[in-house]
Amino acid sequence: MTEPILEITNLSISFFVRAGEIPAVMDFSCKVMPGEAMGLVGESGCGKSTVALGVMRDLSNRGKITAGSIKFKGRELTSMSEKDLRKIRGSEIAMVYQEPMASLNPAMRVGRQLMEVPILHENTSVEEAYDRALEMMELVRLPDPERMMDSYPHQLSGGQQQRIVIAMALLSKPALLLMDEPTTALDVTVEAGIVDLVKELGSRFGTSMLFISHNLGLILETCDRITVMYSGEAVETGSVNDVFEQMRHPYTQGLFRSIPLPGADKYSHPLVAIPGQLPLPHERPAGCNFGPRCAFFEAGKCDIGEIHMQDAGVGEFHFSRCERVAEIDWDAPPTHDGIIEPTVPGEVILTVNGLKKYYEVAANKMFGGGESRVVKANEEITFNAREAETVAIVGESGCGKSTLAKILLGLETATEGTVSLGNLEIGSTDIGDRDTGTISSIQMVFQNPFDTLNPSHAVGAQIVRTLERFGIGNTPDEREERMLELLDLVKLPREFAKRMPRQLSGGQKQRIGVARAFAGAPKVVVADEPVSALDVSVQAAVTELLMDIQRASRTTMLFISHDLSVVRYIADRVVVMYLGHIVEQGTTEDVFSPPYHPYTEALLSAIPIADTKVVKKHIVLDGDIPSAMNPPSGCPFQTRCQHKNAVPGNICETDLPPTRTLAGGHQIKCHLADDILDRMEPVVALG
Amino acid sequence: MEYIGFFEIWGTVISQFWPVWLSLAVILSVSYHFRHSLSLYGRLFGSTIGMVGLVIVLFWILTAIFADWVAVFDPLEQFAMLKRKPPGAIDAETGKALLFGADNLGRDLFSRMVHGSRFVLIIAPAATMFAFIVGITIGLPAGYYGGKIDSIMSFLANLVLAFPVILLFYLLVTPGIRETPIPMAMAGFFFIFPILFFGVLFYSRYATRPGLLAIQLVCVLLVGGWLYSGLVFNADPLGIIALEPNELNIFASVVFVNSPTVFRIVRGITMDIKTRDYVAAAQTRGENAWYIMLWEILPNARGPLIVDACLRIGYTTILLGTLGFFGLGLAPESPDWGSMINQTRAFIRIVPTIALPPTLALAIFVLGLNLLADGLREQSLKD
């Protein structure tokens, strides 16, 4: 049997702070064989990044390895001297972090940064280092590598930066590559390209990988084996197929049930959220850490002593940290509260017609001179939304979805076109000119839970202030009472009114954000990626809450997102945007089945789906999203389109495609001929 | 001439400070007991540096308050027999020692040093506070709106900052200028800001509750008007606030040179905070700009502002020392630390310790403020 590249046994890492010792990782074991990719999955604060930093022995001065061993190629890392470690770091073990901009030195040309690796670790000559750097730039598929060697990091896009970081990591041909959420900061279509690259390079160089992610779908696409972590412990480990198909830990099962997989339906198969929240490191329960949130919890068994990893009973090297692994019926379907009646949409509430938003950006701000450039954030946006309907607006960064939200809310005014709320034109009215009724009838749920509440004011006071602005309640006492009712509505205890935002978890903050948006009985709520910054197990709960409130109040929801899995689950109709244009819109069913707009097709293919039964068509787009400052001529998508050669002539490059209406009001903005559209195959199929 | 020994000097000094020690002990033990509910101030107790700074600053505040009890003699009383005597010389008449010796006119250096803290501890924090209110009131809109308002405000601030401070003071305290209405106009201009600030503060928050707002505005106008009449026109109807024309001059000038720097800090922080979602949330519920600036942005800027306030009191203390040293704007016999250093420095050859009391007092106080600022910064980052 071959020697493992990395062997971690019973590793414990603690951080020592003023409050005392905080265990971050406990009793963690895993093995990475040569050429194998091990996925480490878990929610924020579960210790997955600490494991990677522990392998690098880069735990700052507060963190210490308190027990266990880390063996790299048979050599013990925990007791290695700093000098020997330096030789290994960057040459035999390389690391890729989440933020590419933070990994690159902004004051150095990327070429020099790449060349440093062979010069430092292998004492090569400058010429050889240059050649090798150039070769690696080509391998990570960067366009025009020679010119790119001479650029500074800020001149590159996020995807290109991350490719540079990966190139740098691979330059010394490491035996082990640690990747800590390498694609989280990137757009989905760019992410798909990076994932593709990592997979290819991994098999090409035979590099072993430790791939850290919170995204189960991504792990399925990249890894051979998986370790699921919860609250500092590994709770389940095994081959990807075993764990995905025959999970043997309640937490893993809960995770899978709380993410929208194909087949989930908001009416008949709603998501099942894991109740409760991650325990704080110093408040972990006795026995099983997952005990208080577990449906299979049995007092006297799960809450005493230490729970150890044990054989899961199915699959090879499949272990689970569950005392009752042999007793639980793992195939029992989740229990539901019964089927929810589908909502019937009412009258049209919101109509957006020919909306355009241009920004003028002065080339030289200081003296006002120079030529000004126009950023076309929104071009010809036309759609409507009916009462109680959920309309998803899908697109990647820079597609203009946030600008659209700003216009709807009155933070910006439209350059051209109209937005009507009921019979009232609001597209050209700034928030300052809107009356209280209009303001309270269109509200927003923000993306970042850590930013949505003012850290200086108590939670209750912030809701009360909203009520005050909207003129709800005549006396302070009435508003106080209404505020407490809103807390009940979002299923938070009434005591939370007096808490400060920092005392709340991300999910709880987002609930307050929902309460605030629904405070004035709005007709339309714009939800800007309301769950994307939350942990997977909390996402489902907040999503369900949002839908419950929406259903009860028959509010129209505009759900802005880049995540098509959530969109497929939650939306009635979908609007797909690219570079300020609506490229496709229709009912969820229409948009998710062929014919597609080529962009939608690529987007669908790019979303990692955590289901082994799903067969996906493999489409990876070249390049990055063009800048809205300098959009391509003709069709906005023509620079990356995979079907461009199916259109005769260069019409894609010269003419903006017309919006074509297909059966059932399904609209596509594309030059492709009807027969090609008709022949399109579904991207995602259940195998 | 009789003297007391080294240990007796320090023993007497320490015992003279008894009201200071007593209240220091009370304040610290009470604060320590309630430290968990005192937010940033309470967390200072976890930082050694911050604690040292806090104790030093509290020491001087309490010394200023109890100066009449701590001092042995009247700071202006001259002992003709004891001119330039070294520390520990005993006054034959009262039998009490001049603990730190006497200056050129035979005045007790210890008592002068103790009384000198009063001048600094009244002017420096008060002037800093006014400078903050001015800086905040113009810095918030400059950062929030940006554009032309920002350009104009920043230009004015740079203009003030580009002018040499000492030169400015020389100009402002020269009799020619002092007799013109310029100082009073300056004071009148700066001191109107607090009234505006608090008026807008309450108005933007409580406009929906007219009853409460009326009470608040009446309070602001009464208190503000009283302070304004006392400070600017020296016509306090209650006779509590009285400023010498010179002191008013110094006060207004210190505010004048400090507010542009505060303006820049506030402007920078505002530009950062205004991009946060909670500001957008406030905008989407239709809040007006001043509410957002004063109630959404300002509270979240308090960390860096508190730290800067500590440092700025320190700078102002040094500035006041410099002014005193040059004899700018203060009565010649005034027991402020800067004047004391100037009056004693010529005699260092005769009595080497003669300039030490005011110098060390100044240095220790500023050091304490800097340590306190460090401690506050350290603790506020931990949140």
Which pLDDT score, from 0 to 100, does residue A559 have?
92
What confidence score (pLDDT) does residue A687 get? 62
- Evaluate if residue B20 carries a pLDDT over 60: yes
> Predicted confidence band at B24 (pLDDT cuts at 50, 70, 90)?
very high
Residue B148 at interface with chain A, using a CB cutoff of 8 Å: no
Site from A364, A442, A465, A500 to mutate, B interface, most B CB atoms within 10 angstroms: A465
Nearest CA in chain B to A469: B285
Q: Is the pLDDT of residue A369 over 70?
A: no
The CA–CA distances, whole Å, from A212 to A101, A549, A610 equal 19, 35, 15
Closest-CA distance of chain A to residue B206, Å: 10
Is A463 near chain B, with CB under 8 Å?
no
Is residue B137 predicted with pLDDT exceeding 90? yes
d(CA A77, CA A9): 12
For residue range A370-424, what is the model confidence (pLDDT) as tens digits? 567 788 888 888 888 888 899 999 888 778 888 888 888 888 888 888 888 888 8
Tell me whether A447 touches chain B (CB under 8 Å).
Answer: yes
Q: Does the CB of A436 have a partner CB in chain B at under 8 Å?
A: yes
A518 touches chain B (CB under 8 A): no
Question: Distance of CA A160 to CAs A164, A165, A204, Å?
Answer: 6, 9, 21
CA separation for the pair B228, B235 (Å, rounded): 9
Whether the pLDDT of residue A365 is over 60: the answer is: no
Assess A443–B contact: CB distance below 8 Å, yes or no: yes
- What distance in Å separates residue A564's CA from the closest CA in chain B? 24
Cβ distance B276 to A447 less than 8 Å, yes or no, reads no
The predicted structure's pLDDT at residue B367: 94
The letter for the amino acid at B111 is S
Q: What are phi and psi of B377, to 5 degrees?
A: -65, -45
The nearest CA of chain B is from the CA of A476 a distance in Å of: 9
Range with lowest mean pLDDT among A124-133, A218-227, B151-160, B169-178: B169-178
Cβ–Cβ < 8 Å for B120, B317:
yes
| pLDDT tens figures, B261-295 | 999 999 999 999 998 889 999 998 888 899 999 99
**Mean pLDDT value of segment A332-345:** 73
**Residue A516 contacts B, CB cutoff 8 Å:** yes
Residue of A448, A454, A470 for testing the chain B interface, max B β-carbons within 10 Å: A454
| Share above pLDDT 90 across residues of chain B, in percent, rounded to a whole number | 30
B155 touches chain A (CB under 8 A): no
Chain B within 8 Å of A403 (Cβ-Cβ)? no
Is the distance from CB of A86 to CB of A124 less than 8 angstroms?
no
Contact A453 B278 (CB under 8 A): yes
- Selecting from B278, B283, B296 the residue whose C-beta is nearest the C-beta of A452 gives B278
The reply to whether B207 touches chain A by the CB within 8 Å rule is: no
Q: Which residue has the higher pLDDT, A459 or A538?
A: A459
Low-confidence winner among A515-519, A581-585, B242-246 (lowest mean pLDDT): B242-246
Q: How far apart are CA A232 and CA A68, in angstroms?
A: 14
- Beta-carbon contacts of B383 under 8 Å, excluding residues fewer than 6 positions away, are A502
Nearest to B285 among A18, A451, A466 (CB): A466
Chain B residues 299-338 with a CB less than 8 Å from chain A = 299-300, 302
Percent of chain A with pLDDT over 90: 5
Hey, is the C-beta of B46 within 8 angstroms of any chain A C-beta? yes
Query: What average pLDDT does the segment A659-681 reach?
Result: 84
User: In this predicted model, what pLDDT tens digit does every residue of B247-265 receive, in sequence order?
Assistant: 788 888 888 889 999 999 9
- Summarised one tens digit per residue, pLDDT across range B65-119 is 988 888 888 888 888 887 888 887 888 778 788 888 888 888 888 888 898 888 8
Chain B's closest residue to A525, CA to CA, is B284
pLDDT grade, residue B140 (50/70/90)?
very high
The residues pairing with A394 across neighbouring beta strands, listed in sequence order, are A561, A576
Q: What angle do CA B318, B321, B325 make, to 5 degrees?
A: 140
Using a CB-CB cut-off of 8 Å, the residues of chain A touching B46 are: 18
**Most confident option among A292-296, A645-649, B339-343:** B339-343
* CA nearest neighbour of A192 among A129, A259, A141: A141
Classify the complex by whether its ipTM is higher than 0.85, answering yes or no.
no
Contact status of A426 with chain B (Cβ, < 8 Å): no
Q: How far is CA A215 from the centre of its chain?
A: 8
**Dihedral, CA atoms, A593, A594, A599, A603, nearest 10 degrees?**
30
Nearest residue on chain A to B151, alpha-carbon basis = A366
pLDDT tens track for A87-131: 888 888 888 888 888 888 989 898 889 898 888 888 889 999 999
In this model, does residue B154 exceed pLDDT 90? yes
Given a cut of 60, is residue A366 above it in pLDDT?
no
Number of Cβ within 10 Å of residue A623's Cβ equals 15
What average pLDDT does the structure give for chain A? 84
Question: What CA dihedral angle connects A566, A567, A572 and A574, to 10 degrees?
Answer: 180
For A518, the closest chain B residue by CA position comes to: B285
Average pLDDT, chain B: 86
Q: Is there a cis peptide before residue A595, judged by omega within 30 degrees of 0?
A: yes
Distance (Å) of CA B304 to CA A508, B40, B266, B373: 28, 12, 9, 10
Q: How far is CA A668 from the centre of its chain?
A: 26
- The answer to whether residue A170 neighbours chain B at the CB level (below 8 Å) is no
- A319 pLDDT exceeds 90? no
Q: Which residues of B touch A471 (CB under 8 A)?
A: 208
Q: Residue A367 above 80 pLDDT? A: no
Torsion of CA A285, A286, A292, A297, to 10 degrees: 170
DSSP string for residues in A436-466: HHHHHHEEEE-S-HHHHS-TTS-HHHHHHHH
Q: Give me the pLDDT at residue B261, please.
A: 92
Please tell me which of the candidates B281, B299, B302 has its beta carbon nearest to residue A446.
B281
Q: Please, how many CA atoms are within 13 Å of residue B237, restricted to the half-sphere of its CB?
A: 7
- Residues from chain B contacting residue A469 (CB–CB below 8 Å): 208, 285-287
Which residue(s) pair with A17 in the sheet? A20
B209–A contact, CB cutoff 8 A: yes
Q: What is the pLDDT of residue B309?
A: 92
Q: What is the DSSP letter of A91?
A: T
Burial B127-163 (b: 16+ CB within 10 A, else e): bbebbbbbbbbbbbbbbbeeeeebeebbeebeebeee
What is the pLDDT, as a whole number, of residue A370? Answer: 57
The three-class DSSP label of residue A139 is helix
Mean pLDDT of B147-175: 85
- A140 pLDDT exceeds 90? no
Q: Lowest-pLDDT range, A331-335, A588-592, B195-199, B205-209?
A: A331-335
CA distances from A501 to A12, A205, A278, B305 (A): 32, 48, 17, 21
Whether residues A452 and B46 touch (CB distance < 8 A) is answered with: no
Print burial letters for B207-236: b (CB count within 10 Å at least 16), e (below 16).
eeeeeeeeebeeebeeebeebbbbbbebeb
**Is the CB of B285 less than 8 angstroms away from the CB of A470?**
yes
| Residues contacting A400, CB < 8 A, separation 6+ | A357, A377, A378, A379, A381, A577, A579, A580, A628
Chain A positions touching B280 (Cβ under 8 A) are 411, 444, 446
Q: How near does any CA of chain B get to the CA of A659, in Å?
A: 32
Whether the CB of B37 is below 8 Å from some CB of chain A: the reply is no
Sheet holding A6-17, edge to edge: A20-32, A6-17, A63-72, A75-76
Contact B278/A18, CB-based, under 8 Å? no
A597 touches chain B (CB under 8 A): no
The minimal CB distance from B283 to the residues A411, A440, A466 is found for A411
- pTM reported for the whole predicted model: 0.84
Least confident of A255-259, A655-659, B231-235: B231-235
